[in-house]
Amino acid sequence: MKMRPLILALMSLFTASALADTPQQILAVYQQQAGQASATRGEAFFHAKITRDGQTESCASCHTDNPKAIGKTRAHKRIEPLAPVANRDRLTDPAKVEKWFRRNCKDVLARECSAQEKADFVAFLISVK
């Protein structure tokens, strides 16, 4: 009966990258795809204003200029802060992170974000103290 904890421990080692559950693990997965992340680039990406069809958009337009602040959607629904230091649920669910990158990048950039942009953005959020 001593085998069971050992097997569970080994299984969790092998699935760690698929089941990333800390901001650092999520960053590590994006860095595997993209290479070294830059928090400085991620910060610039967050504030960048993109004008398309006469509309100016940015990530900060919903999330505010401060990743520790509460944001709101266009329909004025509350968005909890993005930075893990202000909201411990952030960057803990890789499927959720992917889903919202897909949606928000299409919304702001009219395309999906690259692995590099995601790595940089996650590194920026982690760097917020």
| Contact positions vs ligand HEC (CB under 6 A) | 59, 61-63, 73-74, 79-80, 90-91, 96-97, 100-101, 104-105, 107-108, 121
- At its nearest, how many Å lie between ligand HEC and the CB of residue 25? 12
- At its nearest, how many Å lie between ligand HEC and the CB of residue 54? 16
Complex with ligand HEC: residue 52 or 96, whichever CB lies closer: 96
Cα 26 from Cα 7, distance rounded (Å): 24
Q: How many C-beta neighbours within 10 Å does residue 46 have?
A: 18
- At its nearest, how many Å lie between ligand HEC and the CB of residue 128? 13
Going by C-alpha positions, the residue among 17, 18, 48 that lies closest to residue 124 is 48
Q: How many C-beta neighbours within 10 Å does residue 118 have?
A: 25
